[in-house]
Amino acid sequence: MGRTPGDPSDEADRLLELQAEIEQLKEAVTSHAVVDQAIGMVVALGRVTPDLGWLILKDVSQHTNIKLRNVAELVVIWGRTGEMPGEIRTELQDALERYGPTQIPGAPPE
């Protein structure tokens, strides 16, 4: 005998699916916030545009084979503690040299 619409087991399955989706969305929002914070730090540090800040983080992630979200977390932690793994620091410095700095509007040329 098949299930009928409104069957309690169907509703329980749907509830579990929705709870899993909510957890995924919460994780995505948290991840996005951390990445945005790290981009802001790279923008301030490197005097680059936000688009270049994103590319720099992506570049560091690719060169270190560390997920972008994890690189972003390390950059944000570095902003609070001053500590960063050497591999990340080296790649961040290299990426900043490749992509930046950009000229601050109205500033005299360097």
Spell out the SS3 assignment of the chain: CCCCCCCHHHHHHHHHHHHHHHHHHHHHHHHHHHHHHHHHHHHHHHCCCHHHHHHHHHHHHHHHCCCHHHHHHHHHHHHHHCCCCHHHHHHHHHHHHHHCCCCCCCCCCC
- pLDDT, average across residues 93-105: 77
* Average pLDDT over every residue of 81-86: 93
Residue 30 has pLDDT above 90, yes or no: no
Determine the pLDDT at residue 106. Answer: 57
Question: Encoding tokens for residue 41?
Answer: 């730090």
Q: What average pLDDT score do residues 68-95 get? A: 93
pLDDT at 103: 56
Stretch among 19-33, 49-63, 72-86 having the lowest mean pLDDT: 19-33
Q: What is the pLDDT of residue 81?
A: 93
Neighbours of 64 (CB within 10 A): 17
CA atoms of 46 and 55, how far apart (whole Å): 12
pLDDT at position 12: 85
Which residue would you say has higher pLDDT here, 7 or 95?
95
Candidate from 2-6, 33-37, 76-80, 97-101 with smallest mean pLDDT: 2-6
